[in-house]
Structure 1
């Protein structure tokens, strides 16, 4: 039985019945994100998860919070410093938002520390000990001292803080230690700082069967006498700094590549947004930090626990399989295997949908590898938003160019925190002969698409891959996304127009299948929503299902409110930020919003419209998309919305993937009209078994093109929807 739990974030103060034009009809975006991170953090307390997986969720919540503070919170603080009084969609000023966000961050940080203390005790029961400056045992103590002298001492650099030594620069996410000392020779007080190089491990593990870990800061503090001979240690304090890490684009940048190389360096020196202080920090040392770091609008977090929660990921790597999820190996699509691994033959027969990570991302790589070595392939065009540090996709494109193919790669330099890696990939691609395009200055190219043009007889055929996720082999193991392969001529023609739009600014006047933002995607969604409103007004069945990562765009939300007021039944699966308020009489009583947090990160984007029938139905209009329901995706990015018209794929996306998300009870949270979330409670009725969509797809045969492989094998159980159980 799952324990009911509520997240505590109050999204905004609202009226009981907000008018359709009142800002109170929206939740605050930043507070909604913090509510999402609370749901992630709640998984660290989930008793049904293995212990190290719970620690992983704690680490993820820390990493999430760091990024949120260095980008979103930094943006609000920047508005205040520049006196930009831009009101949020829920009616809050930047100062009000910053105060509310700071307050909630402190609540979450306190929860993280409480959960870490609990997990730390439980880990010790299983032989994984995280020790502080106290004794770890005689043999361990000797090893730690030797490790410090040989591996840490030569790397660190103590620096006196006085008029002769300027205060050093502290990089974002950097950890430092201030030591308050007295020189024995003359009793003079001395303040020393050690900045911990980021190349050093966050935790040091003592060799041996028992896993004993010590944080790098505790290891340094423990051996302070080795660093400062001839000094008396009066006290010390550990601190951590987070800086503004966003990059603002200058529209008049003459050279985008050169601009980004410079901007990446500037980002490392951004304004301090957060100062974290650990333990009983010396007041004089704290005052010194406050003065030297220029803490304008910054948040100061004082904690008795650990700083840098994201670093706990190092302990998750401990080789204890019994404390982790059972390993899962993705399946390779049977449809491709039935054609002896020939991707083109399988796609030529009919379109294929692949659901990652249940089905291997290798099929996407194999599609490109086959194109690279196929003598009949003439050209390859590919978008790259995030490709990771070790990219088989990039290597396949390089191989294709070296084999004499015409290869075009659209590399997005503005992919946040991947800018530096993308610059490296672009350089390697160009050296191999790939035509590298950086897209638009104003808009990010976020669409995930690749096309292969192949000579077949006297004609050419275009094979396309559309994805809801990035061409990233690592995240494809944990993000649930859809890949759709098709040789449909209309899709090939539309994708050709898309690439011409990106590479040559040739705006497509008309497309046959695709809707492209910022040109037509928003209008397509509006037309589909309006069609459901018209169906409801005529007394016909009217329904909308959508699965997105975030929903923040006021226009889309207002359109959904209008649909609800017309009687359209709407179910939204929004993993992260949701600014729509469900369940408000007269406004959104026909809208249900749920969020799914579990072993895998739900990332696929799907829209389904009843089209005059109850969902699910073969009559429904079903789309997959790279775009979330955010203004930036609809107005300031190049995105794709693709209708699924292949009957088999239509049934798989709607009747399996989408429906399974709606039926999930074990990993789902429901959004209330006040902005709080509560975990879906498992029914006590034994006839209604709990449903876990991740387990369902992990334990059942592939959805994609099962064909003859299931004639003698086990079939995928048919899912059915009981009205009222969502």
Structure 2
């Protein structure tokens, strides 16, 4: 039994406390005058790196943890290849967005420093210093270890020169039949300007010599991305492949007849992929966005990956033609573009892959189906949580929308869509609902990064079917994950809600770890009604009965919740904070957590990605602990727990503690108030905090140390534990 604030006020000293709360109620001797805070007037005079880790370096540390899963021999072989691919594609996006942003600030001489006090120029320097050894390590480990282990288990990624004559003849035929007509060799000389090179494209720079004039010339051949990167060799007993660029390279004589092929070298570029929409001046957001998507193809080059053995003169020519500097060049030993290993990871070799996971139906829904109840009957019996991918998205969230579309008593459906799948059953259900005569309103966020074109497509399909489609606010992204169904039941209207932490996307729901709550609570229904009026009409709604809504009241509410723990600790009441999210960046929230730590509040943070708070610093953050969990599923849920003097409160929703979430996006965090659900969420947090297989501890110097079981302690993976709860064979 946990002592509450009320118990303490009544001097009930016989009640025992949980261990983690015992520590937090120890009276702090730190007075308010000695608390370490960062005032605005002091920002330039203090060493801000004492208080904040650099955001970009923290992201690089996250991606290093991803790479570590690929290096770890405990991970299945093809899953290791997958993590190597994820590391590479993550890095592509990092350059397209984050590095591009810093480079733009530097180019425009913006006098802006990061929260840890670094100028754009210094940030570019430290980013490169962190990435060069990491990228080198990835490629060397792949070439020396992963590639060899793949070979030993029947996956042979061979160089062209290592295959026999028979298979070289096959590849020559493949080149003529599949490649030759697709390729376009482009000369570079005074009469032929340097060609446009598309983002993330793999290319060959080719040096040829005219057999008659002996003149050397420079040409470029793009490796087509419409064909598989690794060409399978038939009539072999295993999975034997040759890289596509090598098939092209060994048949260049067909592309340059009469020329002597002197040399060739692969290279790959990355462009700035940020969209620069002047929303205040845009009369038609879709048209403005489509125009920016067209311009995006021609963004400035922010990185070139190049064969490490390329001659200096060719290297110099590429740098000059692409308008970059030596600092933008990354030398790659071996294959360039390891993101293409994703295809290798899906080869039909189950003995070298994770055991297939099939999510289970939530027990409430399973029992309800057996009793012949519809989903609305089941929700009306009480709130319940769904935990994806352990519990099925299809039989819960997707079913909620599909059943609402077909239910004669449903009058209206309102939903936000941030990212959804290419052939979305959710969207099809919304279209069907409109065709069935229901009022359907959908907010489609057109500016969801890298999903802009997909969302424009779905928005138009929805509009053409009679759905009321809105696109949110100027200068704000709508990131909240909410759905509202209005149903006529007798002589009253009942509002059913789903509020989640993840996108309405059945594909990502299979490998993202997310939470959602179903409810017909009157206050939540009324709040979501007000929220959708805010999203679709003209409203300055600021007060909500239950919800924390950004950018309206969320920052203020979170700061008050942290401050309340501080006050409880000072008064001797139980105090404890647990927060799980993707990223922690916001300086104001971090400062509040430092203050809480200094008065004695224990704080456990589960931050998968970027984390700018410095834990375990004496006198600053002694009581703050940070872990990151990297595993089979992407940790994506956001959970916020406050002990509140023993009267526990817990919240879930779409927002991280980042300035963009709290100030520049529409986000929703909901309280979870059913006692059984509070217990369920707290248990989830406790299981994750106990992970000793996939958890990493953040140290005060910014390094992460992977946990390992202590002597005699069993290995415990939180993700595996959650899987075993639904399917014991995964224990």
TM (normalized to structure 2)? 0.91
Give secondary structure in 2 for the equivalent of 1:580.
coil
The one of 173, 178, 200 aligned to 1:173: 200
Partner of 1:243: 271
Residues 594-623 of structure 1: CA distance to partner in whole angstroms, max 9, x if unpaired? 00011111110000001113xxxxx31100
SS in 2 for 1:292: helix
Q: CA deviation at 1:188?
A: 2.3
1:483 aligned counterpart, secondary structure: strand
Q: 2:8 corresponds to which residue?
A: none
* TM-aligned CA deviation for residue 255 of structure 1: 1.3
Q: CA, structure 1 residues 297+79, in 2 after alignment: closer, same or farther (shift >3 Å)?
A: farther
Contact 2:470–2:536 at 8 Å: present in 1 too?
Answer: yes
Residues 540-689 of structure 1 aligned to structure 2 (within 5 Å):
540-613=573-646, 619-655=647-683, 657-684=684-711, 686=712, 688-689=713-714
Q: 1:104 — aligned with what? A: 130
Change (3 A) 1:528 1:77: same
Which sits farther off after the overlay, 540-549 or 187-196?
Answer: 187-196
Q: Is the 8 A contact 1:391 1:472 kept in 2?
A: yes
CA deviations over 1:17-47 (Å, ceiling 9, x no partner): 9964341210000000000000110111111
CA shift, 1:268, in A, is 1.2
Matches within 5 A, 1:157-556: 157-207=184-234, 208-250=236-278, 251-295=280-324, 299-340=328-369, 342-362=374-394, 363-556=396-589
CA distance in 1: counterparts of 2:559 and 2:673, whole angstroms: 20
1:236–1:282 CA contact under 8 A, matched in 2:
no
Runs (5+) with no aligned partner, structure 1: 1-16, 614-618, 703-713, 718-726
- Counterpart-to-counterpart distance in 2, 1:193 and 1:492: 60
Distance in structure 1 (CA, Å) of the matches to 2:364 and 2:162: 59
Q: CA deviation at 1:716?
A: 13
**Whole-Å separation in 2 of the counterparts to 1:368 and 1:143:** 51
Q: Deviations over 1:36-91 (max 9, x none)?
A: 00011011111111100011001000011110011000000000110102011101
2:160 and 2:696 map into 1 onto residues whose CA distance is 40
Residues 716 and 186 (structure 1), Cα distance of their counterparts in 2 relative to 1, 3 Å cut:
closer
Report the alpha carbon displacement of residue 438 of structure 1 after superposing the two structures with TM. 0.2
Report the more deviating stretch, 406-415 or 131-140: 131-140
2-structure distance, mates of 1:378, 1:219? 59
**Aligned-pair RMSD on alpha carbons?**
1.7
Cα deviation for residue 157 of structure 1 reads: 0.6
Q: Give deviations 1:421-454, integer Å, cap 9, x for gaps.
A: 0000001111111111000111100000001101
* Cα shift at 1:199: 1.6
User: 1:224 Cα deviation (Å)?
Assistant: 1.6
Q: CA shift at 1:190, angstroms?
A: 2.1
Deviation at 1:115, TM superposition (A): 2.0
Give the TM-score, by structure 1 length: 0.92
CA contact (8 A) 1:353 1:483 kept: yes
Distance 1:157 1:45, change over 3 A: same
3-state SS in 2 of match to 1:201: coil
Counterparts in 2 of 1:110 and 1:306: CA distance versus 1, 3 Å: same
Distance between the aligned counterparts of 1:455 and 1:297, measured in 2?
66
Once the two structures are TM-superposed, the CA of residue 181 in structure 1 deviates from its matched residue by: 0.9
1:708 is aligned to none
**Match of residue 690, structure 1, among 703, 715, 719:** 715
Partners of 2:677 and 2:464 in 1: CA distance: 39
**Structure 2 Cα separation of the partners of residues 192 and 635 of structure 1:** 49
Where 1:700 maps in the other structure, the secondary structure is helix
Stretch of structure 1 that moved more, 223-232 or 300-309: 223-232
Partner of 2:9: none
CA distance in 2, matches of 1:422, 1:404: 24
CA offsets, 1:182-206, max 9 Å, x none? 1213322222211223222222222
CA distance in 2, matches of 1:160, 1:126: 42
1-side partners of 2:448 and 2:268: how far apart? 26
* Mean CA deviation greater in 218-227 or 577-586: 218-227
Task: Tell me how far apart the structure 2 counterparts of residues 143 and 324 of structure 1 sit (CA, whole Å).
Answer: 30
Which runs of no fewer than 5 residues in structure 2 stay unpaired? 1-33, 39-45
Give the equivalent residue in structure 2 for 1:11: none
Distance 1:327 1:95, change over 3 A: same
Could you say what secondary structure the match of 1:508 adopts?
coil
**Shift of residue 389 of structure 1?**
1.2
* Cα offsets for 1:317-362 (capped at 9, x unmatched): 2111111000010001121122226211110111110100001110
Provide the rounded CA distance (Å) in 1 between the counterparts of 2:691 and 2:375.
33
- The answer to whether the Cα contact below 8 Å between 2:160 and 2:168 also exists between their aligned partners in 1 is no
Equivalent residue for 2:181? 154
Q: Offset at 1:215?
A: 1.6
2:705 and 2:298 map into 1 onto residues whose CA distance is: 40
2:151 is aligned with 1:140: no
Q: In the aligned structure 2, how far is the partner of 1:634 from the partner of 1:509?
A: 14
Q: Give the Cα separation in 2 of the matches to 1:126 and 1:107.
A: 29
Q: 1:91 to 1:691 in 2, by over 3 A?
A: same
Query: 1:176 and 1:61 mapped to 2: Cα distance?
Result: 21
Q: CA offset at residue 715 of structure 1?
A: 14
Q: Secondary structure at the match of 1:641?
A: strand
Mean Cα displacement is larger for which, 281-290 or 537-546?
281-290
Aligned length: 682
Q: CA deviation at 1:102?
A: 1.2
Match of 1:134, SS state, is: helix
* Residues 249, 441 of structure 1: 8 Å contact kept: no
The structural deviation recorded for 1:297 is: 8.3
Residue 238 of structure 1 contacts residue 279 of structure 1 at CA under 8 Å; is this kept in 2?
Answer: no
Partners of 1:105 and 1:715 in 2: how far apart? 40
